[in-house]
Amino acid sequence: MEQNKDIADIQAAEATFQKKKKYILCYHSFSVNNFKKASVQIRKLAEAAGAPISIAVIPAFGAAPESEAEQFREELEKFVQEGYEIMLHGARHRADLSLKRSISGKLALLVSNNEAEFAGIDERFTQALLKRSLALWKAHGTGKPSGFIPPIWFGNKYLKEQALSIFDYYEDFHGIYQKVKGNVKKTSSSTLSFSILPTPLLGIAQTYACLRMLLPGGVHRLVFHDKDFRTIGEKRILNMVRYISTMREKIMYKDL
């Protein structure tokens, strides 16, 4: 009996330790162009994790027909009502190549295939593009997003401050930021993403993600895109989410 009690105490201690380790599960680049397929993928991720997840939304409609735009709005509203967390993910994700950029911004465009929308632009254009992102979002009429995630996590020296003047949370590749009593608080957080990696490295990246989650420290972000469901495969993605959810408690940005 005493031995059984010891085992129970050890299991309880292990469970408590695991609950102290947390992670965020976020689906990136939900848009009017992919929402039908992405909605299914998001709900499968949530089912594997056992709770609604965070969604990074591209608000631009582009040339989508009004019927598609309306369905997109309806799907967003469903997610909000079901308890999913919405993060704003740029205006249209693709960079405006006519804007003047710093050398680092130009390099970011090069490595991101022109996806780094905010990289290396000046203060005035950063503010204008951020306002455009918010205006596009407001056109959906689904309330205020929890935070802002720049496309490909490339920003500039003005974006964090400007984003935190509007949103509760902002993130870059190295961490998550929020304003607490007038000060900016940084939560240490690794970005575990796969979409820009070449296929031969995907297996290594998945193993690294699981090991990173196993180790203590940080509130790491596990990020999936539609592309990952083709390159990694749905079964492996969902198994990874289930496995990581046994090691860490899944939370949202608003739970930080």
Q: Using a pLDDT cut of 90, give the percent of the chain over it.
A: 86
Q: What is the DSSP pairing of strand 169-171 with strand 85-88? A: unpaired
At 5 the pLDDT is 53
Q: Give 81-125 pLDDT, tens digit per residue.
A: 999 999 999 999 999 999 999 999 999 999 999 999 999 999 999
- Reply yes or no on whether the pLDDT at 9 is more than 50: no
C-alpha to C-alpha distance for 48 and 250, rounded to whole angstroms: 11
- Reply yes or no on whether the pLDDT at 10 is more than 60: no
Residue 142, CA distances (Å) to 43, 53, 68, 85, 198 in order: 19, 17, 17, 12, 36
CB 221 within 8 A of CB 23: yes
At 12 the pLDDT is 46
Helix (H, G, I), strand (E, B) or coil at 215: coil
* DSSP notation for 119-178: TT--HHHHHHHHHHHHHHHHTT-S---SEE--GGG---TTHHHHHHTT-SEEE-SSEEEE
Q: Calculate the average pLDDT of the chain.
A: 92
Q: Which residues contact 16 (CB under 8 A, 6 or more apart)?
A: none
Residue indicated by tokens 């304003």: 179
Tokens of 201: 């490295």
Helix (H, G, I), strand (E, B) or coil at 35: helix
Domains and CATH numbers, the chain: 23-190+248-255 (3.20.20.370)
Q: Give 185-223 pLDDT, tens digit per residue.
A: 999 999 999 999 999 999 999 999 999 999 999 999 999
- Reply yes or no on whether the pLDDT at 11 is more than 70: no
Within 13 Å of residue 87, how many CA atoms lie on the same side as its CB? 27
* Confidence tier at 4 by pLDDT (50, 70, 90): low
CB 119 within 8 A of CB 95: yes
At 53 the pLDDT is 98
